[in-house]
Chain A
Amino acid sequence: MESVRYEAPNNVEAAVRLLAGENGAKVLSGGTDLIVQMRLMNRVPTVFVDVKRIPRLSALALDAKGLRSGAAVPAATLYGNETIRKLWPGLAEATDLIGSSQIQGRATWAGNLCNASPAADSVPALIACGATVVIAGPKGERRVPVEQVNVGPGKTSLAPGEFIVEFEIPAPAAHSSDAYQRLIPRSEMDIAVVGAAVALTLDAGGVVKAARVVLGAVAPTAILVPDAAAALVGSKCEDAALERAGQAATAAAKPIDDRRGTVAYRKKIAAVLTRRVAKIAYDRARAR
């Protein structure tokens, strides 16, 4: 019988040493993916490296430059923060969608990202906001945009011994906002059939200056859809522009058929959600 160890280092270096030390080591944040998978799929690590005792990973700092959030800050703290909800309403609503209250007391962005499910809810929203992760590892620290962390279902670009220490999100420019929606058949406790996040920056006249459109659950990882963003730039998110953005989303979506949805359905919904989410982000940005 295999035995499992549990370690809870209180600094980054110790965590790196533990993680680099053995192949079967796993970072434990909220455990809402890890523990479930261990039970269901019999994927038992040799050692859990619980990172919640490292002070830097639980810190939350907001200033003029933006947000710096420790990787182990739970979802409930993040969307419960009024400033975060005001500056990044889309990211907050995506975070609020994860599981239920019980899950949100534990679940983290880092876990959501490193579990590397294509359907993770916070990931498209983080990408739309231009979030970056700070990664610590045996060779020191590096900074990487969130969209470069996942490389496929269940796979990340993190090297052995590396883990995410914190998230940095730049303060939004004037007249900016974001939005996120997912489609699930039920109302909660379900996995996105399609997710869409849009972040927009407008000029003073309400014309879109910059846009980021991200889709979840329609490709091996969350994907940026530059064509959809381009369709929005220069518009006031009128129906025609939204329609073009939606078409670009459908074209970019490369989903699979599985128990949660079909290729054809997911491609259609990618367009619907892109249109709706862009409109919400636009209305929010106008109100700023």
Chain B
Amino acid sequence: MSNQNGSGSDRKFKVVGTRPIRHDGLDKVTGRANYGADLALPGMLQGAILRSPHAHARIKKLDVSKALAMPGVKAIVTSADFPEIGSGGMAAGESHIDPKDLQANIMARGKVLYHGHAVAAVAASTIEQAREACKMITVDYEVLKPVMTLAQALAKDAPILHEGRKAVGVPPLPEGDTNIMMRLANAKGDVDAAFKGADVVVEGWYEASMAHQGYIEPHATVVTTRENGQAEIWCSTQGPFAVKSMVAVTLQMDPNLIRVTPSEIGGGFGGKTTIYLEPVAVLLSRKARRPVKMVMSREEVFRATGPTSGTRIWAKLGVKKDGSFVAADTRMEFEAGGFAGSPMGAASMTLYAAYNIPNFRFEGLDIVVNRPKVAAYRAPGAPNAAYALETAIDELAQKLAIDPIDLRLKNAVKEGDVASYGPKYDRIGFIECLQAAKNHPQYKAPLGKNQGRGVGAGFWFNVGLQSSATVSINDDGSAVVRTGNPDIGGSRASMAITVAEELGIPVERVRPLVGDTDTVGYCDLTGGSRVTYATGMAVIEASKNVIEHLRARAATIWGCEVDAVEWRDGQAVGTNGASNNKPLSLADIAKQMAHTGGPIIASASVNPPAAGPGFGVHLCDIEVDPETGRSTVLRYLVVQDAGKAVHPSYVEGQFQGGAAQGIGWALWEEYLFDKDGKMENPGFLDYRMPVASDLPMIDTVVVEVPNPLHPYGVRGVGETPIVPPLATVGNAVSRAIGVRMHQLPMTPPRVLDAIETKKG
């Protein structure tokens, strides 16, 4: 693991850039940390959900009377218990969710749209009683033909998931009933003419399977309600404030009545930016007048929670002999699952974002199918888009006999270039990443027989959004920092490092806490790679406000004007007129807090712009067994611009984690459905995410091209790492076997097929 400095910000850091042990580490490795399912309240009931055995059906009749009479059963909820709501947009993770759809995804209304769709829920004294009661609920279904693939959804006589719903977006739009929920399109220049002038053109379809985030902790919640309408929710989420607003909208409740406390979170990756259980548990608790706990099984997580979209993308890319891109054209089809809202919008904006392409066009379709409704997953949409484009680039590199990194360098965007999505780039580090990859020893390592090396690149926006932070000082000179962002990637450590840096105290003297919606100021959810950037900014501001207090207290102690006190290297130093005084450390001032005006505490809030693009370049060396088609990843490198790595270990961890997930998506993970639309592999045995032994140690290079929007130069780093791997791995496999593969995952049978087809 190495570090590469771009032209750095000249600030000399003391704590930023070090690798202290994470504050939450001990509890996590000793099993003390409390996750969503760990809370128990007196009198608590257990909730279970009855799920649809059909992928597509109309609910004709639903009778819960027998179930209600079962032993231990205290309450049953169906869609009839949810208020009717109108349509309208609301933000949730990457995609904009229609509240009506959000509600219908949580509890089917009228129609079930995927196998595993919730149709009723039971609260009983024990989980076994709740499950038994679910079996006694009778549902009369009119079974409809399931629409499982994009091709089936687009077929002329396709069954329609949402009758009467019109496509929206950029015309031309399909007339009448359709499974296309949205069409996006954009163009620049004269694409057709430009292709005619190209020396080499490649074109093809690139397919990727739906993929699950695979967080280790299944969704879980405990809810208690009060007679005055209040609801207290504990749950595993990336955004307690988001849960609050989503529960409010799905239940048409006054948000003021809702308090959400995030538990420790066992992974989210975007999948916990939306809700499934919480409103159901609120309704059950209201009816039963008891606390209710609901925990999903792994099988439920697979059948009924959001993966990211499977896609079919047709892409065409033209170049001049010298390697300069002249034109690109793309058609993207995204599976949205049972309800509208795939990450096709972000995909279309990221698709061409890494390169200067003078003429381009794209069309994107958001298509409903009878599969679970997709949810955000790390850089939603971007990996699918990059898979198509970065594979096409690799094909061009081979045809032109140009080094694939050189081909990218020739076309890579840099500061001042106009991004494909419109505006001009500020300081960005794509070129630096490409060069670092090219100079890395892995790029020169010799390849053996049946081995191939893949290169791929990726782009992600990295958002800003709203954050608050509070920093308080204890009388022993230690500090507490509180935010509302669940820590999914080591952000507690980053927040503590930030306070330590600003106040000049050891990082171990800072205790970072994640609060609930009533105890901390508003924070948008932990997602979009935003926490270290945006919440970190709020922490910097809050720390600076604390320093103002510290200066004032020092002035009180010294009996001088505040202006005569400076904060330097973690202590109050007297200047003009006060310079005889011995500097006061934070501990000195804290000791005197009571005498100088009471506790010291300060908050700050921010709503900064997007953090600025994060670019990454990956290298993958793979060996393919030519007789079985089985791939072994030999070496893997992630190079990415982090702006400034606040805690380098967690930056590297994000790089490695994103790469691991992307490699899994590229080689092994896929949703398998039987002919009736029932998922056949709803568990980690057959939904094959990589285990430790499947991967080599993933090497990382942290490039640091400071982000001008952040005081330390921080960029978001959590999402970009999953953008390049699909193509990087695919390119490595294709080069290893000498045949271009166009479909993910590249499972042994598919690869063997390709090898044998080549042999003829």
Name A's B-contacting residues (CB within 8 A).
1, 40, 183, 185-191, 193, 259-262, 265, 268-269, 272
Contacts and interface: CB of A to CB of B under 8 A. Distances in A.
B149 to A, nearest CB: 17
B690 A186 contact: yes
B749 A183 contact: no
Contacts of A1: 128-129, 132
B191 interface: no
Given A190-B688, A268-B752, A272-B627, A185 B693 contact: no
B681 interface: yes
7 contacts: A1-B132, A183-B630, A185-B667, A185-B668, A186-B668, A188-B694, A259-B681
Given A188-B694, A190-B685, 17 more contacts: A1-B129, A40-B299, A40-B683, A183-B630, A185-B630, A185-B688, A186-B691, A187-B691, A188-B691, A189-B684, A189-B685, A191-B686, A259-B672, A259-B680, A260-B686, A265-B749, A272-B628
Interface string B116-158: 0000000000001100100000000000000000000000000
Contacts of B630: 183, 185
Interface of B: 128-129, 132, 299, 627-628, 630, 667-668, 672, 680-681, 683-686, 688, 690-691, 693-694, 747-749, 752
B694 A187 contact: yes
Contacts of B681: 259
B627 A189 contact: no
Nearest to A194: B628
Closest 8 CB pairs of A and B: A265-B749, A187-B693, A272-B627, A259-B680, A259-B672, A187-B694, A186-B694, A189-B691
Contacts of B748: 183, 185, 193, 265
Given A185-B668, A189-B685, A191-B685, A269 B691 contact: no
B693 A269 contact: no
B622 to A, nearest CB: 14
A40 B684 CA distance: 13
A188 B685 contact: no
Interface of B is mostly: loop
Contacts of B693: 186-188
Contacts of A260: 686
Contact of A262 (B128, B684, B685, B749): B749
A79 B685 CA distance: 24
Contacts of A191: 685-686
A183 B752 CA distance: 13
A185 B747 contact: yes
B60 to A, nearest CB: 28
Contact of A261 (B668, B684, B749): B749
Contacts of A269: 628
A259 B686 CA distance: 8
A45 B688 CA distance: 30
A114 to B, nearest CB: 20
A146 B149 CA distance: 45
Nearest to A265: B749
A265 B694 contact: no
Nearest to B749: A265
A186 B747 CA distance: 10
B301 to A, nearest CB: 14
A264 B683 CA distance: 25
A187 B128 CA distance: 36
A265 B752 contact: yes
Nearest to A36: B685
Nearest to B670: A259
Contacts of B628: 183, 269, 272
A186 B664 CA distance: 10
A268 B630 CA distance: 13
A220 to B, nearest CB: 19
Contacts of A185: 630, 667-668, 688, 747-748
A234 B297 CA distance: 55
B634 to A, nearest CB: 13
Contacts of B299: 40
Nearest to B298: A40
Nearest to B745: A185
A262 B672 CA distance: 13
Contacts of B688: 185-186, 190
A268 B667 CA distance: 20
B741 to A, nearest CB: 15
Nearest to A186: B694
Contacts of A189: 684-685, 691
A190 B748 CA distance: 14
A265 B688 CA distance: 18
Contacts of A190: 685, 688
A43 to B, nearest CB: 15
Contacts of A188: 691, 693-694
A268 B751 CA distance: 13
Nearest to A1: B128
Nearest to B679: A259
Contacts of B667: 185
A269 B752 CA distance: 10
A240 to B, nearest CB: 17
A268 B752 CA distance: 10
A140 to B, nearest CB: 39
Contacts of B694: 186-188
A115 to B, nearest CB: 14
Which among A188, A191, A262, A265 has the greatest number of chain B C-beta atoms within 10 A? A265
A135 B46 CA distance: 44
A214 B628 CA distance: 19
A269 B628 CA distance: 6
A285 to B, nearest CB: 23
A255 B694 CA distance: 26
Contacts of A259: 672, 680-681, 686
A250 to B, nearest CB: 13
B626 to A, nearest CB: 10
